[in-house]
Amino acid sequence: MTGETMVHEVYTLRRGGSALVVSMPHCGTGLFDGLEARLTPEALDLADTDWHIPELYDFAAEFDATIIAARLSRYVVDLNRPSSGESLYPGQATTGLCPTTLFDGRPLYLAGAEPDAAEIAGRVASYWQPYHAALAAELDRAKAAHGRALLWDAHSIRGVVPRLFEGRLPDLNIGTARGASMSPDRRGRVAAAAAAAAGPAGYTHVVDGRFVGGHITRSYGRPDQGVEAIQMELVQETYMEENGPPFSFLPERAARIRPVLKAVMAAFIG
């Protein structure tokens, strides 16, 4: 039923009535029993989390969006990677399906405690599959009700991560799988809205720059099949303290960036 909230071991799902489905695959901080003891002290900070994304996107309720948010850390399994473990950015530094390093390259696990192939397969079955089954079901439900589904994949990242990219990222990084995950008209509206909203507010943006969209954007975005998808990779400094624990949410910064996100989301919805 529209408006209901379901809490699963892997995700929280709030069902809306519009065509918009917002996915938050990296906001979780949970670890399964026994994993904490296997991680390095640095990993236990969970620094690579997309912190506070549900709070930042509280305005999505105004669009009557369905929201699915991960409860478990990306260190358990990365929900925005293919279950095969295939790299999304061949030849570039990245992290894997069950990462063994932090974004900065330091070990995630204590020596000898890394998951083997059997454990990775188990994590895919127990944690990756339920999230994607729920996401696919909600997209199908939205498409059945509205003739189409609109998927917004919400992410954030530190603005400077030398191992992953040079320099500082633009504040808003919009991914459309280089135009494959949405129609040209919708992509044009999104790009125009980002330029109109971000620049005057003092933010930078790029469309299909370093991040063109991960597994979720690329695999579900099928305009010819009635599903259009976008990834928004937001620099964390725009709404929080990104440089070390406790990674605090900063309400005044969030209040400044929200209207920009809302304008881009409205253009995506069209």
pLDDT digit string (tens) for 78-121?
Answer: 999 999 988 788 778 788 999 999 999 999 999 999 999 999 99
- Domains of the chain, first to last: 4-269 (3.40.630.40)
Residue with tokens 């979780």: 28
pLDDT at 86: 83
Encode pLDDT of 164-210 as tens digits: 999 999 999 999 999 999 999 999 999 999 999 999 999 999 999 99
Tokens matching residue 36:
């904490």
- Residue 80: what residue type? N
Average pLDDT over residues 149-157: 98
The pLDDT tens digits of the residues spanning 37-89 come to: 999 999 999 999 999 999 999 999 999 999 999 999 999 999 999 999 887 88
Q: At what angle do helices 184-201 and 251-269 cross, to 10 degrees?
A: 150
Kindly tell me if the per-residue pLDDT of 1 is higher than 70.
no
Pairwise CA distance, residues 31 & 197, whole Å? 38
Beta strands per DSSP E along 4-101 = 5-7, 11-14, 20-24, 66-70
Percentage of residues of the chain with pLDDT beyond 90: 94
User: Measured between alpha carbons, how far is 118 from 166 in angstroms, rounded to an integer?
Assistant: 35
Rounded Cα distance, 20 and 59, in Å: 13
Percent of the chain with pLDDT over 70: 100
- Secondary structure in 3-state letters for 92-159: CCCCCCCCCECCCCCECECCCCCCCHHHHHHHHHHHHHHHHHHHHHHHHHHHHHHCCEEEEEEEEECC
Q: How far is CA 47 from CA 5, 12, 74, 106, in A?
A: 28, 21, 11, 12
pLDDT on residue 90: 79
The number of beta carbons lying within 10 Å of the beta carbon of residue 91 is 6
Residue the block writes with tokens 């790299």: 87
Which residues, other chains included, contact 253 with Cβ-Cβ below 8 Å and sequence gap of 6+?
A: 237, 238, 239, 240
